[in-house]
């Protein structure tokens, strides 16, 4: 027997309008009554593996030791594998489909140390029809691991380097511009970009010029001036570019939704350039429309 675990951190695209999440938790409770389930979120957009992988990566350094159970699984019923991946000297095991969902979180947790394909019928439920993998495969595996079942009892080991990688967009430089992308729009309308503290040149001033998709003319862009700030209250009435609470730059407004005001959505391109002496104190102003990139 391996070590017992006490906590299962749980993320899916199941939503909460159906009983899917509840049934998985009921199955876990039945198998491992001592295990606590922490719901990270279940409102990942249906089948949006990228959004799920990003949310999981944002959570991973905060979840307690134990099991991480994540299911965003457009390939349910295909031959994509069900996997369990051990990290951090066995302190954590991530469970889910082998479709890249787990990859960024695994990388942030130090990389996969061992991985298995979950195939052992002893630790699965029998479905009366098509498989509901959260209920029948992933949930039971998580619960049995909590009970002390060994990772390798779940199924054959697989080479971690052969697991499906994630497809996270990287920022790139083009001349003096930094070409970024909106990774995530949160409930408050803050737009997290795929750039961190080291991605903006140290020489830039506190004013940043943003080139954003034109909400009116598809394919066109608009220029907005933004202020770098280290907290919402420092943004003032204009647009802010600030390091968010996960350490990534975000386009944000103070107490208003940047996504609504600037018509930004996940996946949109945002091009940043040094604003030099631009004055952003007048609040957001729009400069001439440019076509193309």
- State the Cα–Cα distance between residues 83 and 154, nearest whole angstrom: 9
Q: How far is the CB of 183 from its own copies (least distance, A)?
A: 12
What is residue 151's three-state secondary structure? Answer: helix
Of 65 and 279, CB closest to its own copies: 65
Question: Which residues contribute to the site for its own copies (CB under 8 A)?
Answer: 6-7, 9, 11, 14-23, 25-27, 29-30, 33, 36, 38-43, 46-47, 55, 58-59, 62-64, 74-78, 127-132, 135-136, 186-188, 197, 230-234, 242-248, 255
* Pairing outcome for strands 92-97 and 82-87: antiparallel
Residue among 19 and 174 whose Cβ is closer to its own copies = 19
The packing angle between helices 20-31 and 139-146, to 10°, is 30
Task: Between 39 and 279, name the residue whose CB sits nearer to its own copies.
Answer: 39
Q: How far is CA 92 from CA 3, 88, 115, 265, 266, in A?
A: 11, 6, 12, 33, 29
How far is Cα 121 from Cα 155, in angstroms, rounded to an integer?
9
Cβ distance to its own copies smaller for residue 118 or 132: 132
Q: Positive or negative, the Cα torsion across 10, 16, 20, 21? A: positive
CA distances for 55 relative to 13, 173, 184, 218, 223, angstroms: 11, 25, 9, 29, 29
Q: Can you tell me the distance from the alpha carbon of 28 to that of 3, in angstroms, rounded to the nearest whole number?
A: 17
Which one, 148 or 276, has the nearer CB to its own copies? 148
3 state DSSP class of 191: strand
Minimum Å distance from CB 145 to its own copies? 17
Q: How far is the CB of 251 from its own copies (least distance, A)?
A: 13
CB of 257 to its own copies, least distance (A): 8
Judged by beta carbon, residue 49 or residue 270, the one nearer its own copies is: 49
Q: How far is the CB of 61 from its own copies (least distance, A)?
A: 9
Nearest residue (CB) to its own copies, 27 versus 179: 27
Can you name the residues that pair with 64 across neighbouring β-strands?
none
Task: State the minimum distance, in angstroms, from the CB of residue 164 to its own copies.
Answer: 16
Least distance from its own copies to the Cβ atom of residue 89, Å: 17
Q: How would DSSP label each residue in 31-63?
A: H-TT-EEEEEES-SPTT-HHHHHHHHHHHTTTS
């Amino acid at each position: 027997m391996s070590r017992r675990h006490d906590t299962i951190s749980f993320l899916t695209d199941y939503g909460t309008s159906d009983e899917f999440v509840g049934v998985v938790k009921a199955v876990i409770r039945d198998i491992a009554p001592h295990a606590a389930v922490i719901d990270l979120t279940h409102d990942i957009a249906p089948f949006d593996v990228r959004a799920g992988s990003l949310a999981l990566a944002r959570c991973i350094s905060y979840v307690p030791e134990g099991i991480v159970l994540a299911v965003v699984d457009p390939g349910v019923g295909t031959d994509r594998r069900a996997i369990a991946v051990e990290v951090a000297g066995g302190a954590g095991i991530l469970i889910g489909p082998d479709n890249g969902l787990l990859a960024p979180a695994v990388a942030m947790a130090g990389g996969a140390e061992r991985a298995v394909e979950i195939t052992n019928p002893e630790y699965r439920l029998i479905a009366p029809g098509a498989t509901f993998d959260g209920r029948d495969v992933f949930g039971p595996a998580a619960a049995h691991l909590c009970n002390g079942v060994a990772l390798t009892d779940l199924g054959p080991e697989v080479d971690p380097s052969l697991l499906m990688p994630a497809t996270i967009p990287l920022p790139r430089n083009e001349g003096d511009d930094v070409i970024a992308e909106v990774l995530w729009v949160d409930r408050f309308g803050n737009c997290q970009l795929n750039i961190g503290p080291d991605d903006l040149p140290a020489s830039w001033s506190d004013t940043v010029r943003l080139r954003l998709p034109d909400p009116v003319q598809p394919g066109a862009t608009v220029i907005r001036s933004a202020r770098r700030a280290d907290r919402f209250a420092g943004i003032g009435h204009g647009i802010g570019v600030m390091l968010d609470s996960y350490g990534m730059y975000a386009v944000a407004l103070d107490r208003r939704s940047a996504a609504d005001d600037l018509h930004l959505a996940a996946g949109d391109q945002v091009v940043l350039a040094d604003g030099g002496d631009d004055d952003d104190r007048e609040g957001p102003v729009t400069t001439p429309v440019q076509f193309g990139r």
